[in-house]
Amino acid sequence: VCTQQEPLPYKYLPKPLILQLLGLSIATMSTVTHYGHHFTLISDTSLDGNSYRVIHLRAFYFGICLSMTLILAALLSSAATVRESQCLTAMGFFCFALAFCGLIPAAYWRYTHSTEVEDSMMDVYDFVYEEVRRNSSSFRRQELTAIHKAFLCCGKHSPFGDTTNVERKTCPPGQVHNAEQDCLRVIQDFLKKHMDFVFSILGITIGFTTYGMILTSFLWFSIHFSSHLDRKGKYILR
């Protein structure tokens, strides 16, 4: 019986749709982090010497590059499987490896600098708050009012005593003297939840890139030995 040799099964590779959705999720998360009201407000308020603005910008570019790499890897893997191309398979592996090499340092940085982002963000608020407390600058008072409104918080516990005057001028109505709305704690909790979500996405992406590298390697060797056996696309006798 003559039958045609079937192409390499598509199931050998990670589902391209999953990788594309993962890439789009990372791009969306990066865009929200960069252009979200809470983050842009702190970034615009921060001084040049504060590290938050640099971290904020680098995180955005890293996320966009990572999402594009994952989407490209998914497309190349799909094309390589359909066409049984060693070149496309190697390019797909390279994209997975490139994403992996970027993810590992990012995850390591997040683990070793777990509080750096939170500290830099709270330093911005602390600086603006103290500036308003000392001289009641109208410019800084507008920034502090915007932060209180965005984070729905009011002032902070200050060792300098009564800060009622600052809170009365800058806090949203009904939140003055609300101890549960201390801004330093609210900002820390907000950013901690966001960073935990980011770290979860990084972990999932590392798993998929590792899976992709292993299976693209397997596909490359399958295509390579199939070509050497001169069986690709040929009719064989059973």
* Cα 62 → chain centroid: 8
The mean per-residue pLDDT over the stretch 71-80 comes to 87
Question: What integer pLDDT is reported at residue 159 of this predicted model?
Answer: 56
pLDDT digits (tens, 9 = 90+) for 136-173: 667 888 889 899 889 988 888 765 555 567 777 788 77
Residue 82 — pLDDT band, cuts 50, 70, 90?
confident
Lowest-confidence range among 9-18, 21-30, 155-164? Answer: 9-18
Asked if residue 68 has pLDDT above 90, the reply is yes
User: By CB neighbour count within 10 A (0-12 exposed, 13-18 middle, 19+ buried), where does 70 fall?
Assistant: buried
Q: 235 phi and psi, to 5 degrees? A: -90, 135
Question: What integer pLDDT is reported at residue 158 of this predicted model?
Answer: 61
Q: Is 75 helix (H, G, I), strand (E, B) or coil?
A: helix
**At 176, which amino acid appears?**
V
Mean pLDDT estimate for the chain: 80
Lowest-confidence range among 39-43, 189-193, 234-238? Answer: 234-238
Closest-CA residue to 39 (of 113, 141, 108, 120): 120
Contact 71, 20 (CB under 8 A): yes
Q: How far apart are CA 107 and CA 114, in angstroms?
A: 10
Residue 222 — pLDDT band, cuts 50, 70, 90?
confident
pTM to 2 decimal places:
0.78
Contact 210, 185 (CB under 8 A): no
- The partner residues of 190 in beta bridges, in order of sequence, read none
Largest distance between two CA atoms of the chain: 93
Question: What integer pLDDT is reported at residue 84 of this predicted model?
Answer: 77
Better pLDDT: 13 or 84: 84
Helix axes 52-83, 116-135, angle to 10 degrees: 150
The mean per-residue pLDDT over the stretch 69-79 comes to 89
Question: What integer pLDDT is reported at residue 7 of this predicted model?
Answer: 46
How many C-beta neighbours within 10 Å does residue 154 have?
Answer: 23
Residues 20-55 as b or e (16 or more Cβ within 10 Å = b): bebbebbbebbeebbeeebbebbbebbeeebebbeb
Helix axes 37-45, 16-35, angle to 10 degrees: 40
Lowest-confidence range among 20-24, 78-82, 90-94, 127-131? Answer: 78-82
pLDDT digits (tens, 9 = 90+) for 103-133: 999 888 888 887 888 888 999 998 888 888 8
Question: What integer pLDDT is reported at residue 27 of this predicted model?
Answer: 92
Lowest-confidence range among 85-89, 143-147, 179-183? Answer: 179-183
The mean per-residue pLDDT over the stretch 181-197 comes to 88
Q: How far apart are CA 40 and CA 223, in angstroms?
A: 49
Question: What integer pLDDT is reported at residue 41 of this predicted model?
Answer: 92
Better pLDDT: 127 or 6: 127
